[in-house]
Structure 1
Amino acid sequence: MKVSDAVKARRSIRGYKPDPVPQELLEQIFDQARFAPSNCNTQPWHTVVVSGQARKDLQAAIFEEIMSGKAPTPVFTPGDADLTGVYKDRQYQCAFTYYGIMEIERHEKEKRQQLAMKNWEFFDAPHVAFISMPASMGAVNAVDIGIYLQTLMLLLVENGLASCPQGALALYPDPVFKIANIPDGNAIICGLSFGYEDVGARINDVIMDRDPLADLVQFIS
């Protein structure tokens, strides 16, 4: 598979088969992903992959926090905070597309909440990765996390797997720290649910458009 093919094939998948990915393949993919570049080769990422019973226990623990009314406690500012202008417009369009495919109207708040809760069900994926970096780090280091995350997602595509990067998985970190061996001083920046796509699931019909090249890139000579 060419890199360009993997880039076009990759999209956020939110419906999965229950089949786990073989451990040998998991280790191969994450071993290859560690060769992603980073500023001064700092490699600021730390990844914990949660599967099996631990994954079920984690989902239950996060649900308990949410249902108790506990407020989210992310360390890093969520990506959808304080958006304005064209960025807010794109966010609205993303939501419009998502809810439209799922046939949920604007006034159906309970259905919208149920759909949102799928984030902390990890969209039924058999595996979920939590990516953290030192809480003292900032935006430049987060660029390295993005490079690593894209590398990882493209490797998953190459191996016939699907994934969904989720900022929402940084909102309730306490249960994750209790179950996952995250280094002291680190904070979760995002999560990644992944596994084998449940082809035919309606939720996987969600495909987001991209703005035209002329709106995003300038060529000056």
Structure 2
Amino acid sequence: MGGTSAAQGETAGFEVVVRAIEGRMSVRGFLDRPVDRGIVERLLALAARAPSGSNIQPWKAHVVTGAALARLTIALSAAHFAGEPEAREYEYYPLTWRAPYLDRRRRVGWQLYELTGVARGDREASLRQRGRNYSFFGAPVGLVFTIDRDLEQGSWIDYGMFLQTLMIAARAAGLDTCPQAAIASYPGIVRRELGVGGDEMVVCGMALGHRDPDEPANALRSERAPVAEFTTFHGE
């Protein structure tokens, strides 16, 4: 009986994790509902359990709320809509696009635009939709992540695991997130508004809060390639 109970408990625990992973999505519309600071601290503490080479823990987080979030949102949005880009400090996307990556990018982009009513060729509507990144999609908590400039690629791999752990923990807590590479498009503004030193690079941002069920963009469920498409099994 004891073995059966243990097995049932393991299965239940696995299903909790499965639901959190499968339920995680990039939410692009949040309710005007605050998130307690204690919850944010708990989520960050859980994320910090992510592995890192030699336990160096390369992540640095800036939690932005209230008036500080409003100031950051205004500054980022003004630059975006004025068409005043800054030089990114690292390349997020490939410099030369090719299949299958370009195909996947186009597909999810058009799926999002269809849901949000952005017609093909409507550059003004596209600019508005992209601009929602800079208000953190209305989330009550904006997170900005930085990394020491002298750290190498291995630390960026560690950072990805930290971010994923944070997002899965948030989903398990009934919250939603949207990781945002777009925030790194304006490192100068982020540095000025948050007092980030020049020895740190802006990795990305993240919106955190409660999903708005009435936001059309939140109906998007991006596709994933089947395991057989990206996996090679090596055996005898």
User: Normalising by the residue count of structure 1, what TM-score does the alignment of the two structures yield?
Assistant: 0.94
Contact 2:47 2:169 in 1 (8 A): yes
Shift of 1:80: 5.4
For 2:186 and 2:133, the matched residues in 1 are separated by: 11
1:81 deviation in Å?
A: 4.0
Partner of 1:28: 42
After superposition, what is the alpha-carbon deviation per residue over 1:92-149, rounded to whole angstroms, capped at 9, x for unaligned?
Answer: 1111111121222212111111111111111111111111111223332211110000
| Residues 81 and 199 of structure 1, relative CA distance in 2, 3 Å threshold | farther
3-state DSSP class of the match of 1:18?
A: coil
CA RMSD of aligned residues (A): 1.5
Q: Partner letter of residue 117 of structure 2?
A: E
Change (3 A) 1:161 1:81: farther
Unaligned runs of 5+ in 2: 1-12
Match of 2:209 in 1: 195
How far apart, in 1, do the equivalents of 2:59 and 2:86 lie? Answer: 22
SS at match of 1:85: coil
Question: What is aligned with 1:220?
Answer: 234
Worse-matched range after superposition: 4-13 or 136-145: 136-145
Note if 1:127 corresponds to 2:141.
yes
Give the letter for the 1:63 counterpart: S
Greater radius of gyration (CA): 2
Name the structure, 1 or 2, with higher relative contact order (CA <8 Å, separation 6+). Answer: 1
Shift of 1:35: 1.2
Q: Indicate the residue corresponding to 2:86 in structure 1.
A: 72
C-alpha spacing 1:152/1:58, structure 2 compared with 1 (3 Å): same
Instruction: State whether structure 2 residue 23 is matched by structure 1 residue 9.
Output: yes
Gaps of 5+ in 1: none
Counterparts in 2 of 1:72 and 1:78: CA distance versus 1, 3 Å: farther
Greater mean deviation of Cα atoms: 178-187 or 21-30: 178-187
Distance 1:9 1:189 in 2: 24
Taking the aligned partners of 1:98 and 1:136, their CA distance within structure 2 comes to 36
Contact 2:86/2:188 (8 A) holds in 1: no
Which residue in the other structure is 1:93 paired with? 107
Q: 1:93 to 1:159 in 2, by over 3 A?
A: same
* 2:143 paired with 1:162: no
Separation in structure 1 between the aligned mates of residue 51 and residue 60 of structure 2, nearest angstrom:
14
Whole-angstrom distance in 2 between the partners of 1:172 and 1:84? 26
Residue 181 of structure 1 and its aligned partner are, at CA, apart by 4.1
Question: Residues 56-67 of structure 1: matches in 2 within 5 Å?
Answer: 56-67=70-81
TM-score, with normalisation over the residues of structure 2? 0.88
Identity, in percent, stands at 28
- Residue from 93, 115, 123 that aligns with 1:109: 123
Matched, 1:51 2:93: no
Q: Which of residues 143, 147, 151 is equivalent to 2:157?
A: 143
Paired positions, count:
221
